[in-house]
Structure 1
Amino acid sequence: MADEIAHTAPRPTVIIENRAACAGYETSVFFPREGDIATVEKAKDVCRRCPALRDCLMQALRIDDRFAILGGTTPSERQLIRRRLAVRQRELGVTS
């Protein structure tokens, strides 16, 4: 299943792709099987060294990716970020 998702997932923008530390890695590293903590940590390690980390995270939040390790975060971590952002926006009275 992870392979199917990896092949149909949105690709990073060209700007991100040209700077990404993950270029050249097997896609499966960034689409770990559920519970595969070692692969998640390997992907996050690559992300931590990436000059496109911030841009990649912003794109992952925009496209609401629910499968890949992107921008150094798992899908559940990004879901938490989105929730916190929504709370903060409400506190500030910002509308979408």
Structure 2
Amino acid sequence: MTSFNKKQLAILAILAAVNLLLGPLVVGNGQDLTGRTIEAHSPEMRRAGIITTLFGIQLFSVVLGALFAAIPYKQKPYNEKLLTLSLSIAIAVQGFMLLAGIIKLLF
């Protein structure tokens, strides 16, 4: 793992932690797939936020990174491109979530 990837991991961990702390402040009521309303600060909504922040975004990033890593670029190995791209995508998504949360909190 390169030092760049280690920096990416640190940034990703910080963004995820801030999003976990900010999430309960900005979350609204939701619905499950059956149409049942889920209250904003219920344990079920907190669990969904934690799972999304810690696992859902990372899984999405790895899948998308795997697709982009298949494109040939500077003769770099697939694993190196996959890790770098996946972390970059996860940082972008977490950053967007943080920005959206701050905007929702302020306005």
Q: Same fold (TM over 0.5)?
A: no
Which protein shows a greater Rg? 2
State the TM-score, normalizing by the size of structure 2: 0.26
State the TM-score, normalizing by the size of structure 1: 0.28
Higher helix share: 2
